[in-house]
Amino acid sequence: MSDSKPRFSVPHPLVLLGGCVILAAAASYVLPAGEFDRAADEATGDSVVVAGTYHAVERTPVNLFDAMVALPRGMAEAADVIFLVFLIGGAFTVVDETGALRRGVTSLVRTLGGRDLLVIPIVSIFFATGGVVENMQEEIIPLIPVLLILTRRVGFTPLVAVAMSAGAAFVGSAFSPINPFQVQIAQKLAELPLGSAWPFRGIFLILALALWIGMTMRYASRERLEPELIEDSGDVGIDAKDWVIFGLVAATFTVLVVGLLRWGWLFNQLSAAFFIMGVAVGLRAGMGLTGTAEAYVRGFRSMAYAALLIGFARAIFVVLEDGHIVDTIVHAMFTPLEGLPLIVSSLGMVAAQAAIHVPVPSVSGQAVLTMPVLIPLSDLLGLSRQVVVLAYQYGAGLCDIITPTNGALLAMLAAAGVRYEDWIKFAVPLYLALVALGAVSIAIAIAIGLA
């Protein structure tokens, strides 16, 4: 008889997301159908809900077959994100096949010598910056194989590769003072100046990243593996061609940041920029048009599973919309907050935003859905609109760290070979600590009258 303890196990990601689609369909038979009226918002150009207009509508339950039809529909609705994943995957496959990234990893490891733990803050700060400035998520997926090379060579587990990339990016996004897909769209809807209260957010961003990076380093030091030996060869050094390739990659990310913050770029523009980068790198590396195209095909093939996960995750929201229960969930979450003390109401907003983010995994979509409802409520309660934006950021943004309906997270875990349950065991305590930090931030914001 085995005396091993039973292991907590989560189904395969496609099974998990498929089950969520079926659960959403079942909910359409149980929850009352309802919706808010919607109107065009001049600040964002989006169609947003009109507060106080929630009303019951005729039930439209989603049967099992229609729930399965929602899967390809989810792929179609997430097409801009999926094409971004494919084109980034192809572009970084080209970069990887030049050997520049691997030589860069080798040089970094040798430079650090015995100070391997410094890899974590260096890499984490890079990805956290991506989260701060452009809500980096899907862009990380094709970089996971390179990060695995790095972690193997310094003796870290694959989970560390996800923690110092995806985890750091999620934290950066949630505490960002300038993220165009989270704080900026929420501030527009709240009629606040863009970037307002950035010093306050910046302080808590630093604290949050210090917590995440410190705990990742602690985990990495406790779960060390035998480092992979680096063979001595003449091609491990970075040459002039590699620096040009790194320069093209850096220039692309610089253009992306400017495009997002200044030119209003969205996913399609990001996809085009990465495609141009991949072609430029391939030609500079001497791969030629045919060699570059073949590398793109290999990259597309490697991203197919990630694309499926993203489409399946979007299908959950499609089913909820078809059943007319998304607005019902939002209305039910926020109505009980009326009449509560300010601190209780604001923390209730954090909890409600986190709960809503499970069926609504798009942070920008959630802002458009919830902020118009919360702003009149906050005015009625005498709660600062800036606090409402903070509650949205900490509730929705931090939930990305753990929610199984975040297709990008599941794709990154799959690429790294990390089981979702192992990630949850690592991430949940940190997630709770970050939520607590967010609660402290909100309490201070209320106390000082942050506007």
Each residue's pLDDT tens digit, 67-76: 999 999 999 9
Higher pLDDT, 338 or 164: 164
> In one letter, which amino acid is 60?
T
- 38 pairs with which residues across the strands? 49
Whether residue 8 has pLDDT greater than 80: no
- At 251 the pLDDT is 94
Q: Say how many C-beta atoms besides its own lie within 10 A of residue 451's C-beta.
A: 11
Q: To which residue do tokens 């909910």 refer?
A: 27
Q: What is the pLDDT of residues 18-75, one digit of tens each?
A: 999 999 999 999 999 999 888 887 666 667 788 888 899 999 999 999 999 999 999 9
Q: What is the pLDDT of residues 382-391, one digit of tens each?
A: 889 999 999 9
> In one letter, which amino acid is 137?
Q
Q: What is the pLDDT of residues 341-387, one digit of tens each?
A: 889 999 999 999 999 999 888 888 889 889 988 888 888 888 899 99
Q: What is the pLDDT of residues 288-298, one digit of tens each?
A: 999 999 999 99
Helix (H) or strand (E) segment spanning residue 55: strand 55-56
pLDDT level of residue 138 (50, 70, 90 thresholds): confident
DSSP 8-state assignment for residue 177: S
Nearest one of 244, 261, 125 to 194, comparing CA atoms: 261
3-state helix, strand, coil in the chain (%, to 5): 70, 0, 25
> What end-to-end distance do the CA atoms of the chain give, in Å?
64
Q: What is the pLDDT of residues 195-233, one digit of tens each?
A: 888 999 999 999 999 999 999 999 999 988 877 766 554
- At 93 the pLDDT is 93
> What residue spans define the domains of the chain?
13-50+74-221+235-448
Number of residues that make up the chain:
451
Q: Residue 48, SS3?
A: strand
Q: What is the pLDDT of residues 418-428, one digit of tens each?
A: 999 999 999 99
- At 257 the pLDDT is 86
CA pair distance 348, 339, nearest whole angstrom:
12
- At 40 the pLDDT is 80
- Counting residues of the chain whose pLDDT is more than 90, the rounded percentage is 57
- At 433 the pLDDT is 97
CB-hemisphere CA count at 13 Å for 97? 25
Asked if residues 404 and 17 have their Cβ atoms less than 8 Å apart, the reply is: yes
Higher pLDDT, 324 or 195: 324
DSSP 8-state assignment for residue 336: G
Angle 344-349-353 from CA coordinates, rounded to 5°:
150
- At 105 the pLDDT is 83
CB-hemisphere CA count at 13 Å for 416? 31
- At 2 the pLDDT is 43
- At 47 the pLDDT is 76
pLDDT level of residue 400 (50, 70, 90 thresholds): very high
Query: Mean pLDDT, the chain, as a whole number?
Result: 89
Distance of CA 431 to the CA centre of its chain: 14
Asked if residues 98 and 338 have their Cβ atoms less than 8 Å apart, the reply is: no
- Counting residues of the chain whose pLDDT is more than 70, the rounded percentage is 95
Distances 330 to 23, 54, 122, 359 between C-alpha atoms, Å: 18, 10, 39, 11
Most confident of 191-200, 328-337, 436-445: 436-445
In this structure, what token pair is assigned to residue 57?
């509508």
Sign of CA dihedral 182, 184, 189, 190: positive
If phi > 0 it is left, if psi is from -120 to 50 it is alpha, else beta; for residue 382 that is left
CB-hemisphere CA count at 13 Å for 403? 26
CA pair distance 57, 33, nearest whole angstrom:
6
